[in-house]
């Protein structure tokens, strides 16, 4: 199959180009006009998405003991995300370890890119939807015991560096090959920088559930924007972060951003009542909020929704490719398809400014 694009956008360039796919692979890639009339035309082609922070979809929470994550993984694939990190939110420690052992075979088989633990080692002041009675302080030995339960599949852990024992835990985790993210944290800028010095290299969903940008008491958000050692996750669904704040992040940390969905089990199901991290959640008009407080609780979007939002705002497609493919792959040291010859034929097609098609192993699905 020949596919022509007015813009072939990857992390290096954005120019007219074409692909030829066969047997689920990209067997040729060229610049300009395809040598034969193409089978499909798009205004733009993007590489497939990598989501390092998603809790599930289609009624499946990746942290739910005994549940089959297959429907959630399939939903993300259908929407252009072909590599994803299954995020387990705060739960009892025994449950977390058990769920890690259930998900680990899917990482070894390549169905999941890895496992992300978001809690329970987070700040009570910035816990969001995470049940307060389940939170813990980050003892290094305890964290390493949890990591070892996954046999190398736990790739990312979010913790609050101001908690007792956090700095030694960060150093121990990094020494064991785990990426540490600063998140759900009320840390001062000084403590956040100390965490980076200890080895933390990522920030969980910028601006959400963290100390912010006060002009006399800067917090985690300030360090995220200014410290070039940090990768910075951003939820660009138009709800969690306003466009002005997104533009600020692009201006100050544009080469370090990663788009994440933070999607929950409600994704793909519509409005209703759900649960995440031990807290009841109501989804109304597509927005998930904690029952009783009204605070945002994860999202019901997928990366496709965030990309559509950025495309409608005229954001450079090369940057979008970097934030949804290049940077997340680099953070977790993943080999992912990226519109290269001999890559799996995974890509996202854009027509009239919105995603119109997803290819997974050469099978095209249209929206």
| Binding residue numbers | 118, 129, 184, 205, 208-209, 216, 240, 296-298
Active site residue 255: no
Q: Per residue, what are the HEC states of 180-193?
A: EEECCECCEHHHHH
Helix, strand, coil share of the chain (percent; to 5): 30, 30, 40
Calpha distance 96→87 (Å, rounded): 11
Calpha distance 198→204 (Å, rounded): 17
DSSP category for residue 299:
B
Plot region of 6 (φ>0 → left; ψ -120 to 50 → alpha; else → beta): alpha
Of 353, 335, 116, which is closest to residue 233 (Cα–Cα)?
116
Structure tokens at 84: 């994803």
Q: Show binding-site residues for substrate.
A: 129, 208-209, 216, 240, 296-298
Contact predicate 223/253, CB 8 Å:
no
Contact predicate 70/76, CB 8 Å:
no
- Cα–Cα distances in Å, from 227 out to 53, 168, 184, 203? 21, 21, 18, 11
Sequence-distant (6+) residues with CB within 8 A of 181 are 156, 157, 158, 159, 200, 201, 202, 203, 204, 233
Calpha distance 154→173 (Å, rounded): 10
- Cα–Cα distances in Å, from 212 out to 132, 196, 258, 294? 21, 17, 19, 20
Q: Show binding-site residues for Zn(2+).
A: 118, 184, 205
Secondary structure of residue 196 in the 3-state scheme = helix
Compute and round to an integer the Cα radius of gyration of the chain: 20
Token pair 């978001």 is found at 118
Spot the catalytic one: 227, 262, 305, 343.
262
Residues noted as catalytic = 262
């Amino acid at each position: 199959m020949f596919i022509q694009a007015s813009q072939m956008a990857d992390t290096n360039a954005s120019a007219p180009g074409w692909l030829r796919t066969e047997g689920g692979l990209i067997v040729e890639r060229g610049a300009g006009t395809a040598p034969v009339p193409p089978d499909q035309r798009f205004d733009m082609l993007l590489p497939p998405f990598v989501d390092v922070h998603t809790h599930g979809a289609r009624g499946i929470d990746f942290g739910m003991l005994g549940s089959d994550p297959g429907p959630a993984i399939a939903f993300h694939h259908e929407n252009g995300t072909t590599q994803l990190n299954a995020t387990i939110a705060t739960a009892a420690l025994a449950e977390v370890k058990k769920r890690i052992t259930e998900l680990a075979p899917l990482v070894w088989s390549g169905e999941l890119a890895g496992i992300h633990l978001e809690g329970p080692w987070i700040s009570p002041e910035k816990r969001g939807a995470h049940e307060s009675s389940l939170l813990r302080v980050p003892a290094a030995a305890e964290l390493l015991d949890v990591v070892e339960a996954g046999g190398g599949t736990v790739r990312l852990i979010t913790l609050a560096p101001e908690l007792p024992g956090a700095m030694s835990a960060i150093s121990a985790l990094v020494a064991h090959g785990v990426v540490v993210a600063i998140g759900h944290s009320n840390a001062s800028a000084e403590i956040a920088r100390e965490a980076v010095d200890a080895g933390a290299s990522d920030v969980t969903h910028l601006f959400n559930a963290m100390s912010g940008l006060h002009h006399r008491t800067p917090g985690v958000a300030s360090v995220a924007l200014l410290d070039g050692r940090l990768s910075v996750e951003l939820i660009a669904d138009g709800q969690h972060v306003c466009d002005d704040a997104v533009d600020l992040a692009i201006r100050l940390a544009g080469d370090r951003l990663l788009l994440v969905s933070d999607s929950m089990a409600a994704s793909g199901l519509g409005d209703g009542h759900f649960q995440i991290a031990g807290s009841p959640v109501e989804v109304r008009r597509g927005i998930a909020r904690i029952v009783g407080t009204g605070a945002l609780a994860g999202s019901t979007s997928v990366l496709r929704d965030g990309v559509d939002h950025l495309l409608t705002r005229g954001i450079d497609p090369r940057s979008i490719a970097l934030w949804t493919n290049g940077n997340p792959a680099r953070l977790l040291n993943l080999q992912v398809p990226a519109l290269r010859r001999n890559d799996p034929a995974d890509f996202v097609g854009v027509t009239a400014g919105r995603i119109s098609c997803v290819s997974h192993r050469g099978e095209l699905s249209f929206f």
